[in-house]
Amino acid sequence: MTRNTDYRSLLTTLSHHGIQVFLFAAIVATPFSQNIAGESRRTAIVRAIESQRDAVVNIHGQKMVAENDKHDSSELRRVNGMGTGVVIDSRGYIVTNYHVVEGVRRIEVTLASGKTTVATLSSHDPRTDLAIIKVDVRDPLPQISIGTSDDLLIGETVLALGNAYGYEHTVTRGIISALHRAVEVSRTQRYDDLIQTDASINPGNSGGPLLNVDGEMIGINVAMRAGAQGIGFAIPVDRVLQVVSELLSVERVDKTWHGIVARKGDHSNPRGAIVESVQKKSPAEAIGVKAGDVILRIGAYEVSNQLDIERSLLGLNVETSIPLTVARGSGEEQIDLYLADLGTEKITLEDRCWQEVGVRLSPVSSDRVQKVQSRYRGGLVVEAVRDDGPAADQGIRKGDILVGLHVWETISPENVTFVLDKSQEENIGPLKFYVLRGRETLFGHLTRDTIRR
Q: Which residues are catalytic?
A: 99, 129, 206
Which of 62, 66, 67, 97 lies closest to 80 in space, CA to CA? Answer: 62
Distance between CA atoms of residues 115 and 301, nearest Å: 28
Residue 416 Cα distances to 246, 342, 407, angstroms: 23, 22, 11
**Residue 237's Cα: distance from chain center in Å?**
8
Distance between CA atoms of residues 170 and 168, nearest Å: 6
Distance between CA atoms of residues 36 and 15, nearest Å: 27
- What single-letter DSSP state applies at residue 139? S
**Residue 329's Cα: distance from chain center in Å?**
33
- C-beta of residue 100 within 8 angstroms of C-beta of residue 59: yes
- C-beta of residue 365 within 8 angstroms of C-beta of residue 378: yes
- C-beta of residue 251 within 8 angstroms of C-beta of residue 275: no
**Residue 194's Cα: distance from chain center in Å?**
14
Distance between CA atoms of residues 157 and 198, nearest Å: 10
- How many Cβ atoms are within 10 Å of 415's Cβ, its own excluded? 18
- For residue 97, is it left (φ>0), alpha (ψ between -120 and 50) or beta? beta
**Residue 394's Cα: distance from chain center in Å?**
23
